[in-house]
Amino acid sequence: MDSLSTPEVSRVLARIYHEADDTDPAVFDHIIAEIDRTGAPKSAQYWAKELDRAYMPVAPDVGRFLYMLTRTRRPQVIVEFGTSFGISAIHLASALRDNGAGRLIATELNPIKAAKARENLRAAGLADLVELREGDALQTLRDGLDAGVDMFLLDGWKEIYLPVLQLLEPHLSPGALVIADDTTVYPESVTPYLEYVRKDGNGYLSVAIPLDDGLELSYCTGAARLRSDLAS
């Protein structure tokens, strides 16, 4: 039996998805009503505050896709940007458990979400495989990645997908897989990132995956890390 199918993990996933279904529609209805009422563009601070309560989980199909990528790639180190309440981390850590090796370095800006993610990982019996770094990923991911990163999931603040990727480039292993979520639902925010990973010469082979709100799967050829090393 795979770890995703165990009662311990499946119960936690079912509970979090149920909580998300109960919570997220009201959060987004409120945001839409506020935008309609004011007619004004919203700041990053506004969005961060309003989305504090939103789960915004990866869809079940995306979670299984992440699990299968991890089982196939067999990474020793995975980094996740934007853990939220821990659904994607549970899928990734379940695959690491079934691989018999590896660790996940997860990041979450919001302290309330970070605490809930830790609680959910403990409930799923996977906390020992995950190091959750709380705070701004542009700071928390600056150190402690000497072993190399074999998989990298971007599912946090869309506007900084590219800066976070470039921060990690010196640590990406040749053949590393980079997965960006929400590429079709937030097209303007992720355009700089998509242009970068799709541009010849930047060190990636990249393809769009039509799952849920869109994924971009990129294969690191090693040139990105070499370019970063030369720049430093």
pLDDT digits (tens, 9 = 90+) for 123-167: 999 999 999 999 999 999 999 887 799 999 999 988 999 999 999
The tens digit of pLDDT for each residue in 26-48 reads 666 666 676 667 766 555 556 65
CB count in 10 Å sphere of residue 55: 20
The tens digit of pLDDT for each residue in 2-19 reads 999 999 999 999 999 888
Are the C-beta atoms of residues 76 and 69 closer than 8 Å to each other?
Answer: no
The tens digit of pLDDT for each residue in 162-196 reads 999 999 999 999 999 999 999 998 788 899 999 99
Q: What are the strands of the beta sheet with 130-134, ordered from one edge?
A: 130-134, 103-108, 77-81, 149-154, 172-181, 215-220, 204-209
Are the C-beta atoms of residues 223 and 197 closer than 8 Å to each other?
Answer: no
The tens digit of pLDDT for each residue in 72-115 reads 999 999 999 999 999 999 999 999 999 999 999 999 998 989 99
| Angstrom distance (rounded) from CA 42 to CA 35 | 8
What pLDDT does residue 225 have?
Answer: 57
Which helix H or strand E contains 217, and what residues bound it?
strand 215-220
| Angstrom distance (rounded) from CA 173 to CA 150 | 5
What pLDDT does residue 137 have?
Answer: 94
